[in-house]
Structure 1
Amino acid sequence: MVSGLAGVEADDGAQHGGTSPVRYGLGMFGTSLPINLVKGSMFFVYVDLLGLDAAVYATVYAVYGVLDALDNPVFGYLSDRTRSRWGRRRPYLVVGALVLACTTVALFTVPGPVAESAVGLTVWFALFAITTEMADSLINASYGALLPELFTQERRRATANAVRQGAQLVALVVALALTPVLARSVLGTEGSAVGYGRLAVIFGVVAAVVILWTAFGVREDRALDAEPRPRFFRSVREVLSTPQFWTVGVVNACYGAAMALVLGGLQLYVQYTLEGSALDASILQLVVIAAAIGMLSVWAAVVRRKGAAWTWRLALPVAAAGFVPMYFATDLLTGILGGLAVAVGYSGVLATNDLVIARVLDADAARHGVHRSGLFLAAFGVLGRLNALVTAGAVLSLAVFFGYHSGDDPGPDPAGAFRVYLSLYPFALLLVGTVVSRFIRLPAAPEDASPVMR
């Protein structure tokens, strides 16, 4: 594997001034670490520990989702149009890394007087949840655009993406699996949010260092600077008229919404449904993520043999079916068994989703003669990041149907509430994505000579 990566690095380096797929891919660790702390612990910290009402949380989170969707095209468009001595994408990675570190720390470090006021807590939550989201969008609009631009053939791209997704899974181990124990046993105590604030400082600094290291190692293709700057309204019109934007975008949104529910609700699922501890939550997440890492190489081999599109269509129903055992889990052991089923499909979608999207970007660049990966990915992000509205609706449903409002007022059946939240809702979303994927015709892989859609 090491020698294979070295060969790819050398080849891609010749084409793109020495950009390493490993260095690019490892940047995903930095982009994933703080945002997965947010996705995995923000609900638990604000609602269960700090006592913010679930309905208020859902309302703020819905606004968060709308703004998240709206700022993506703006950041993508700016990235595509930028021409500077530092490149098109690098300036946004550098600025975004520093802002993301600061806002993540603020989000999880709520001053005592603020936490004691319902209004103050709501305002603090809204302010720093939204600014953290904006920093994440700023980074990912440029980081994601680099994948198709730096690595122009699907097999080389698959290698870079495998490194990238592997780095993301390692970040999940740290930001999700280890967080409950680190925040509630090592850096803090049960029932307190202090440990989460301390952990946010550590994660923010590490993430900034990794993203900056990647940013200064990227060697963009300067030939792309000679392309005309894309025009915003014309580009938006052409993106929206691309059939694959809507179909692939809907599937991507279904997958993203399903995983957002899992990340946000897993600690509460373990606490209420499995009646487990912080250690149990860490064990469950660690096993699931480790299994996903192990399966990543298997799915990558299937991609090399059968292609990204075929493998993607297989991974989606496997991912949907994996959530069924989670509904029947009653303790840590059965939760782990269910989690292993989830890991198999989750890993498959991770290994293929970005490759499918990259094909759509390649076809757009070939058709219109300009690389606008940032705007196109941001447009996908509008659909994908609106999953916050799905999450908000799911959280609100806990209050409406199960009476769960907060840790202080969990209602009569919090176990049933989070059983449904973490299994049936993700299953339904991925089932929709599976059905839609069957009607999508994708552009051929970039190294294929034939323009046949499949």
Structure 2
Amino acid sequence: MDADRAAPGTSSDAPREGTSPLRYGVGMFGTSLPINLVKGSMLYVYVELLGLDAVVYATVYAVYGVLDALDNPVFGYLSDRTRSRWGRRRPYLVTGALVLAATTIALFSVPGPVADSAVGLAVWFAVFAITTEMADSLINASYGALLPELFSHERRRATANAVRQGAQLIALVIALALTPVLARNVLGTEGSTVGYGRLAVIFGVVSAVVILWMAFGVREDPALDAEPRPVFFRSVGQILSTSHFWTVGLVNACYGAAMALVLGGLQLYVHHTLGGSALDASILQLVVIVVSIGMLSVWAAVVRRKGAAWTWRLALPVAAVGFVPMYFATDLTTAILGGLSVAVGYSGLLATNDLVIARVLDADAARHGTHRSGLFLAAFGVLGRLNGLVTAGALASLALWFGYRSGTDPGPDPGQAFRVYLSLYPFALLVLGTAVSRFIRLPPAPQEAVAPYGPAVRPGEPGLEPGSEPGSEPGSERGVERGVEPGAGPDSGAGTAPVTR
């Protein structure tokens, strides 16, 4: 098979080359900026500064996690079925960008009378935390679906994904690493929420502008409009019967939950465990993110040589082990050394997750004759977004085991509480993900497909699992990752494979 030809069952890349990988990828800066302010500072602002009880926070966050998981399939389904002069995905990107900006600003701008009322504060938190996450889901159901649809060849797709991840890491530098200093020393003062509110306004406006610029530069493939519209319950049934949904989805959920704990707890870890300042929190996060950016090119080179699946299986345990030094850190210097090890594994997962999930979406489109990337990604999101339950449980456990309830009632040993929260919990989640990953095989990369696994296996008929085409060796990645032409696409080593994100 020609290495430059799309896999059978997918549409040609020609109509979509008008979309720049750079313009598409930069959109992730806009999607990441406000939501990482939320993930990185919401716990600190509401529990530590405003005094919301940690158990109340955990309860709301659990409800928020369930609702967020349920709305994902709905948004993905609507996006897949939409046919308009603006395309399928653009209307939701535009709407979501405006709503996300407004709700992020409201979330961090709590009026004085509301902040003084325990009930009022809990209600305000619940309403705007949930609506902010819903807006984020609305955007990402469409934005994520565009990656496999706009760029059907894995090499071009990898370029777009590299831009995406680079844009995301820059957003992380600003929304995570710089936020403590900006909010507590530049735009506001220590112990006040004013700086966080001002940052929310800046981030919300910038985010909306970037997402809108990206959305109006996307050129969707009009040929996809001729495909049959997916039927909700039939599509959900087919997705749930796909083994990759459960295996890749579970690993993705473990990774997402681990990083959610880190994002939400790092400022508290620095404050209580290390006894550090806002500047210390910024320095630690900046080091981790900058090293992640630097390692991204290294991991990308490994992907080109060994394949995304092999690389992902390596990155997972590296990321898990990276959290061990964080448990033993006692000051900023030792925490930075631990953060370096976390950054190495985190960068590897960033370099591979989207590529692997995109392969699963390709196989689904080829098998069933319609692109329903939005719904499939949303189904993955159901598992991933349930990390809200993990976060809620982890936070509630601190109240149970360590007596930590809020900044005004921290319990006898908040330092140990957040030492466990930021190191042992993420380590355990990534170990679970590593174990599951060993049992997953992936469909081949798009330009490497060696058999028409779409048309050859009609929906509802028995046939070969993707990745088990004639010529592949059961249990070996050679048949899964390579095509029949040597050198066509990423090479892969021995073993079996998967990935996340």
Task: Return the TM-score normalized by structure 2.
Answer: 0.88
Query: Match for residue 346 of structure 1?
Result: 346
Mapped contact 2:284–2:332 kept (Cα < 8 A): yes
Figure out how many residues of one structure are paired with residues of the other and give that number.
443
The 1-side partners of 2:365 and 2:194 are apart by 48
1:122 aligns with 2:114: no
Mapped contact 2:257–2:391 kept (Cα < 8 A): yes
Q: Sort the Cα spacing of 1:17 and 1:303 in 2 relative to 1 into closer, same or farther, 3 A.
A: closer
The 2-side partners of 1:367 and 1:13 are apart by 18
Query: Match for residue 158 of structure 1?
Result: 158
Q: How does 1:183-332 map to 2 (within 5 A)?
A: 183-332=183-332
The 2-side partners of 1:148 and 1:306 are apart by 21
Give the CA deviation at 1:155: 1.2
Q: Higher Cα Rg: structure 1 or 2?
A: 2
The 2-side partners of 1:334 and 1:161 are apart by 33
The 1-side partners of 2:306 and 2:87 are apart by 35
1:363 aligns with 2:387: no
Amino acid at match of 1:55: V
The 1-side partners of 2:42 and 2:190 are apart by 16
Q: Give CA deviations for 1:114-137 in whole Å, capped at 9, x if unaligned.
A: 000000000000000000010000
Mapped contact 1:403–1:411 kept (Cα < 8 A): yes
The 1-side partners of 2:402 and 2:284 are apart by 25
The 2-side partners of 1:143 and 1:83 are apart by 16
Mapped contact 1:69–1:381 kept (Cα < 8 A): yes
Mapped contact 2:13–2:150 kept (Cα < 8 A): no
Percent of residue pairs bearing the same amino acid type:
85
Amino acid at match of 1:78: L
Amino acid at match of 2:144: G
Give the CA deviation at 1:17: 5.0
Amino acid at match of 1:162: A
The 2-side partners of 1:205 and 1:229 are apart by 35
Mapped contact 1:165–1:351 kept (Cα < 8 A): yes
Mapped contact 2:13–2:151 kept (Cα < 8 A): no
Q: Which portions of structure 1, spanning 4 or more consecutive aligned residues, are displaced by more than 4 angstroms?
A: none
The 1-side partners of 2:15 and 2:81 are apart by 22
The 2-side partners of 1:198 and 1:173 are apart by 18
Amino acid at match of 2:301: A
Amino acid at match of 1:352: T
The 2-side partners of 1:450 and 1:353 are apart by 23
Mapped contact 1:327–1:424 kept (Cα < 8 A): yes
Query: Match for residue 113 of structure 2?
Result: 113
Give the CA deviation at 1:16: 0.7
Query: Match for residue 456 of structure 2?
Result: none
Query: Match for residue 23 of structure 1?
Result: 23
The 2-side partners of 1:345 and 1:450 are apart by 32
Query: Match for residue 136 of structure 1?
Result: 136
Q: Give CA deviations for 1:215-259 in whole Å, capped at 9, x if unaligned.
A: 000000010000010000000000000000000000000000000
Give the CA deviation at 1:401: 0.3
Give the CA deviation at 1:153: 1.1
Amino acid at match of 1:100: L
Mapped contact 1:17–1:221 kept (Cα < 8 A): no
Give the CA deviation at 1:270: 0.4
The 2-side partners of 1:276 and 1:418 are apart by 13
Query: Match for residue 394 of structure 2?
Result: 394
Give the CA deviation at 1:450: 2.1
Amino acid at match of 1:215: A
Give the CA deviation at 1:13: 8.4
Query: Match for residue 380 of structure 1?
Result: 380
Unaligned runs of 5+ residues in structure 2 are: 1-11, 452-466, 469-479, 481-501
The 2-side partners of 1:385 and 1:329 are apart by 30
Give the CA deviation at 1:14: 4.7
Give the CA deviation at 1:274: 0.8
Q: Give CA deviations for 1:343-393 in whole Å, capped at 9, x if unaligned.
A: 000000011011110010000000000000000000000000000000000
Unaligned runs of 5+ residues in structure 1 are: 1-11
Aligned to 1:361, the other structure's residue is in SS state helix
The 1-side partners of 2:13 and 2:447 are apart by 18
Task: Return the TM-score normalized by structure 1.
Answer: 0.97
Mapped contact 1:13–1:20 kept (Cα < 8 A): no
The 2-side partners of 1:247 and 1:71 are apart by 21
Query: Match for residue 171 of structure 1?
Result: 171
Mapped contact 2:255–2:430 kept (Cα < 8 A): yes
Mapped contact 1:303–1:311 kept (Cα < 8 A): yes
The 2-side partners of 1:17 and 1:429 are apart by 39
Query: Match for residue 8 of structure 1?
Result: none
Q: Give CA deviations for 1:370-424 in whole Å, capped at 9, x if unaligned.
A: 0000000000000000000000000000100000000000000000000000000
Give the CA deviation at 1:449: 3.2
